[in-house]
Amino acid sequence: MKSATAAKPQPKRIETPLNRQYNQIKAKYPGALLLFRVGDFYETFGEDAIRASKILGITLTKRNNGGSNEELAGFPHHSLDTHLPKLVRAGERVAICDQLEDPAVAKGIVRRGVTELVTPGVSFNDNVLDTRRNNYLAAVHFGKADDTFGISFLDISTGEFLASQGNAAYIDKLLQGFNPSEVLYCKRNRQEFGSLFGDKFHTYTLEDWAFTYDFGYNFLKQHFQTTSLKGFGIEGQPDGIIAAGVILHYLNETEHKDLQHITRVTRLEEDRYVWLDRFTIRNLELTVAQQEGGVPLIQILDQTVTPMGARLLRKWLNLPLKEKTLIDERLNMVELLVSDIDLADTLVNHLRQIGDLERLVSKVAVRRINPRELLQLKRSLQHVLPIKELLITALSQNELADPHPGSLKKYADQLNPVSFLIDRIDAELREDPPTLSNQGGIIKPGINAELDELTAIAYSGKDYLLQLQEREVQQTGITSLKVAYNKVFGYYLEVTHAHKNRVPEEWIRKQTLVNAERYITPELKEYEEKILNAEEQIFQIEARMFNEMILAAGEYVGAIQQNARALSVLDVLASFARVAVKNKYVRPQINESKILNIKDGRHPVIEQQLPPGEPYIPNDIYLDDETQQLIIITGPNMAGKSALLRQTALIVLMAQAGSFVPASSAELGLVDKIFTRVGASDNLSRGESTFMVEMTETASILNNLSERSLVLMDEIGRGTSTYDGVSIAWAIAEYLHNKTDCRPKTLFATHYHELNDLAADNSRIKNYNVAVKEMGNKVIFLRKLKEGGSEHSFGIHVAQMAGMPAQIVSRANEILKQLESSHQREDNRENIQKAVPQERELALRIIESGDPKSEAIKEKLRTIDVNRLTPIEALLKLNELLKMAE
């Protein structure tokens, strides 16, 4: 509602009781759009009405509100389900204010209150939710120490609740991977939040006091009805606890008080999953393509048939495992399903019949399930027992070499057929129930005697009326007599004018038509009342019995949630199996070595996109920490260097997520971190990165390496001049090779042939090139990785292929020849070693020339301890100095 300003006096408004009630409720939910129930409508007023009418395309009107004109827009209450999702998707927080008592019996103004505050991150509404994705609410807590943060995620529609803590890079990674619909954080961190985690999220800020340990700890304890949080493994995560507490607090504030389905909070263990930096997640296009129309990996791998399976696959791809036992457990099941296609098909056919069990059971817990959904729940659950039996028989028949006996049986053991619940629903619930629970038609006959009796009265009326009609015809001799019903008079007797004179006196005339008259009789009215009463009672009894069924189902929430988890795992594994068969993947051999040995590896996405008849050329990759730790891959543009780098990382990731891989064989020593850097110019076009940023980030990779890391460097250094670029790429490769604490496996794609000289002095650096063949003045891409360096760039050939005019191509060739003859590569190594000091000299000369900036630069130089500087730091410093000098 508009507020009066001091400068412009507003006409004095008379506050009606309804106005006052609205204002009081509105004030309690600042920032929310208030849907105010009046009779059969939800109304919005003032600013809310303007926004609602824009988003929903509903008419905006004005009403005279005690002297001022106020905007008003509303819609019928039954269209809430269509309008609410639109408002939420537009980023609105919507407070739904309902009538809390029956207007017919209310004394004075009807009591109203907000029954739910729907926000982008908190929704049960099927129209707001995407079945194949989770809808997460996140909370981020900025810890006391620098660079420690707590984080928590909740999907209220499934009850999944997670907490963790770590540094900014970790939090950023989780936010990117989980992609929450709404993020909560503390008001005072407004600026830092944006600069650390970007502005792509819907956010909501809360007051300081909600971000305290005691508050969060107690809130969680109270919710789970435990004396401590030890059982959840989050005791040692104070910042994570604060974030999780904030989530529960927020649910409370938004009137979400039925939370029985949130049965646990799980610690997301940073060290259980492969570390993927932000660029790797983006560059490998695991779940999101970089460009519109692009195909992410998940699209190739997702053959899941249940919504919860689809959601789980997304999670598995973002969080690959690094524990051999767990990975093998998944791979064993995939292998079993690959080898027994009948089993896989039968399993999938059962799974297909299972709806969104996870979200259905949440609705049971919060008592929002409707009769039709309860039927769906029953039908889904009916497939649990057959699946369990299927697995048990299959497991006993298939003697699979299982290194961890019992791990396969685990899946079968987790399934609980909940027969008792199924039997009850089956006995009571009709097979064609409605979506509403207050209009009858829910309960089967033969369950409740009172209900059956009332049904007989209410619905056997036809016979009764026929009898009555016959009796009256005989008594009065009116052969045209008919009993009928309409909404205005209820039941009546109709007599044509021809028989009017035979109508008995006690009949009461109600209406005269052109050729007939309508009457009622006391008997008819008495009967009518009985029917209507019976119907009212039927509705009440059925609603009560339905509620009892929900309460009974509520006892099984834990068991059904466990079923949903086990079924989603089976769904993902069956999907892996089917994709493996379809795309000819093999089982990777996971071990604890430091060797990566892939034979005939392929890129899972590119191979699916090549035109028919154009095969994907497979390649071998071998890396270890003894003989071949870093390979320099040269080759012309378009040769397939990037594809090779990415496919190697994708194969590792797919394997550690439990999938078979596109190769003829793959022996994989576990990887614990994957880092990717792509040369700046790739990102520059999107205005994201500059050379400086590229360097800072490369430096941060170099500081976080482990001995099981896999590093992809794709044309690093190309964002600057050739000499700078070569020197930087050189220094980085050298650094990776010479690191004393670990030997990260690295693929280094580059255009700089100069880097081939590195192999001479560094025993674990090897040169490879992606082969091309020159035929006359044409280049044929063989896409085969070969040992050895390469001599040319073939950039001009690529230009020719792209349709560059012949004149330009031949002129470019001339210039190239000239340049090559004047820049003989006598001793590159020496040149490169010299390059840095030369630039340093230049910087010093500028300083000596009496430039006013010289003091600042001298000061900077004095702080540099040359003996402790790494090559990269030296380059960064130099860059900084040059900037100052410019």
Ligand X SMILES: Nc1ncnc2c1ncn2[C@@H]1O[C@H](COP(=O)(O)OP(=O)(O)OP(=O)(O)O)[C@@H](O)[C@H]1O
Q: Does 638 bind ligand X (CB under 6 A)?
A: yes
Q: Looking at beta carbons only, is 150 or 636 nearer to ligand X? A: 636
The strand pair at 203-206 and 182-186 is best described as parallel
Nearest residue to 663 (alpha-carbon basis) of 622, 713, 708: 622
641 binds ligand X (CB under 6 A): yes
Rank residues 635 and 717 by Cβ distance to ligand X and give the closer one. Answer: 635
Q: Does 640 bind ligand X (CB under 6 A)?
A: yes
- The stretch near ligand X (CB under 6 A) out of 54-62, 394-402, 632-640, 733-741 is 632-640
635 is in an annotated binding site: yes
Residue number with CB closer to ligand X (392 or 606): 606
| Residue (244 or 621) nearer to ligand X, CB | 621
Q: Using CB atoms within 10 A of its CB, is residue 732 exposed (0-12), middle (13-18) or buried (19+)?
A: buried
Give least dist CB 726 to ligand X, A: 16
**641 labelled ligand-binding:** yes
If the CB atoms of residues 121 and 635 are measured against ligand X, the closer one turns out to be 635
The least distance separating ligand X from the CB of residue 638, rounded to whole angstroms, comes to: 5
Residue 793 interacts with ligand X (CB under 6 A)? no
Nearest 10 degrees: CA dihedral of 547, 553, 555, 558? -140
Site for ligand X in 847-876 (CB under 6 A): none
- DSSP, res 790: -
| Of 379, 320, 317, 318, the residue nearest 351 (C-alpha) | 379
User: From residue 375 to residue 414, what is the string marking binding to ligand X with x (rule CB under 6 A)?
Assistant: ----------------------------------------
Of 161-169, 356-364, 633-641, 865-873, which part binds ligand X (CB under 6 A)? 633-641
Minimum distance from residue 633 beta carbon to ligand X (Å): 8
860-880 CB burial, b ≥16 within 10 A, e <16: eeeeeeeeeeeebeebbbbbe
- Alpha-carbon distance values, 519 to 14, 466, 474, 504, 770 (Å): 51, 16, 17, 10, 97
Binding of ligand X at residue 639 (CB under 6 A)? yes
Which residue's entry shows tokens 């109304």?
43
By the rule CB under 6 A, 73 interacts with ligand X: no
- Of 638 and 732, the one with the shorter C-beta distance to ligand X is 638
Q: How far is CA 371 from CA 358, 361, 434, in A?
A: 17, 13, 6
What is the x/- site pattern for ligand X, positions 436-475, by CB under 6 A? Answer: ----------------------------------------
User: Which stretch of DSSP H or E encloses residue 165?
Assistant: strand 160-166
* 3-state SS, residue 113: strand
Q: Which range, of 188-196, 354-362, 641-649, 737-745, touches ligand X by CB under 6 A?
A: 641-649
Q: Is 337 in the site for ligand X (CB under 6 A)?
A: no
Q: Which candidate, 462, 455, 419, places its Cα nearest to that of 542?
A: 455
Closest-by-Cβ residue to ligand X is 640
Q: How many CB atoms lie within 10 A of CB 670?
A: 19
Of the pair 242, 772, the CB lying nearest ligand X is at 772
Q: How far is the CB of 689 from ligand X (least distance, A)?
A: 16
Centroid of chain to Cα 410: 27
CB of 40 to ligand X, least distance (A): 59
843 and 860 in contact (C-beta within 8 Å)? no
Q: Rule CB under 6 A: is residue 801 a binding residue for ligand X? A: no
User: Least distance in Å: CB of 678 to ligand X?
Assistant: 9
DSSP alpha helix (H) spans, 398-448: 407-414, 419-428
Query: CB of residue 721 vs ligand X: minimum separation in angstroms?
Result: 18
Nearer to ligand X, 226 or 609 (CB): 609
Query: Which residue stretch of 292-300, 340-348, 636-644, 693-701 sits at the interface with ligand X (rule: CB under 6 A)?
Result: 636-644
Taking the complex as a whole, the smallest distance from the CB of residue 606 to ligand X amounts, in Å, to 5
Residue 544 tokens, joined:
């009560």
Q: How many residues bind ligand X (CB under 6 A)?
A: 12
- The pattern of x and - marking residues 772 through 791 that bind ligand X according to CB under 6 A reads -----------x--------
In whole angstroms, the minimum distance from the beta carbon of 292 to ligand X comes to 17
Q: Which stretch binds ligand X (CB under 6 A): 408-416, 631-639, 802-810, 828-836?
A: 631-639
354's tokens? 């299972």
Contacting residue, 286, 334, 541, 617, with ligand X by CB under 6 A? 617
Minimum gap (Å) between residue 584 Cβ and ligand X: 15
Dist CA 797 CA 801 (whole Å): 6
Query: DSSP 3-state assignment of 31?
Result: coil
Strands (DSSP E) contained in 647-764 are 665-669, 673-678, 709-714, 745-749
Contact flag: residue 598 with ligand X (CB under 6 A): no
**Residue 23, by phi and psi: left (phi above 0), alpha (psi -120 to 50) or beta?**
alpha
Residue 606, interface with ligand X (CB under 6 A)? yes
Q: Residue ranges of the alpha helices (H) in 200-352?
A: 213-224, 238-253, 278-283, 297-301, 307-318, 324-339, 341-352
| Other Cβ atoms closer than 10 A to 793 | 16
d(CA 851, CA 107): 86
Interacting residue with ligand X among 496, 637, 681, 762 (CB under 6 A): 637
Which C-beta is closer to ligand X: that of 483 or that of 617? 617
- Residue 636 in marked binding region: yes
Nearer to ligand X, 360 or 638 (CB): 638
CB of 607 to ligand X, least distance (A): 8
Measured from the CB atom, the residue of 346 and 608 that comes closer to ligand X is 608
Does residue 616 touch ligand X according to CB under 6 A? yes
x/- letters, 297..326, toward ligand X (CB under 6 A): ------------------------------
Return the closest-CA partner of residue 333 out of 133, 563, 580, 560: 580
In Å, what is the CA distance from 23 to each residue of 29, 40, 73, 303, 407? 10, 20, 17, 51, 60
> Distance (Å, rounded) from C-alpha 313 to C-alpha 79?
34
Q: Which string of b and e fits 231-267 if b means at least 16 CB within 10 Å?
A: ebebeebbbbbbbbbbbbbbbeebbbeebebbeebeb
Q: Please write down the HEC assignment for all residues of 58-78.
A: CCCEEEEECCEEEEEEEEEHH
User: Backbone phi, then psi, for 319, in 5-degree steps?
Assistant: -130, 70
Q: Are 493 and 507 in contact (CB under 8 A)?
A: yes
| Residue 640 annotated in ligand binding | yes
251 belongs to the binding site for ligand X (CB under 6 A): no
Q: From CA 202, how far away is CA 92, in angstroms rounded?
A: 10
Residue 166 or 725 with smaller CB distance to ligand X: 725
Q: Which is nearer to ligand X, 574 or 639 (CB)?
A: 639
Applying CB under 6 A, the span of 195-203, 243-251, 622-630, 639-647 interacting with ligand X comes to 639-647
**Residue 237 or 634 having the CB closest to ligand X:** 634
Instruction: Among 642, 659, 750, 790, indicate the residue that binds ligand X (CB under 6 A).
Output: 642
SS3 651: helix
Q: Does the annotation flag 135 for ligand binding?
A: no
Q: Nearer Cβ to ligand X, position 231 or 615?
A: 615
Residue 594 is assigned to a ligand binding site = no
Q: In angstroms, what is the minimal distance from the CB of 783 to ligand X?
A: 4
Binding-site residues, please?
Answer: 635-642
Binding-site residues for ATP, please?
Answer: 635-642
What is the contact surface with ligand X in residues (CB under 6 A)?
606, 616-617, 635, 637-643, 783
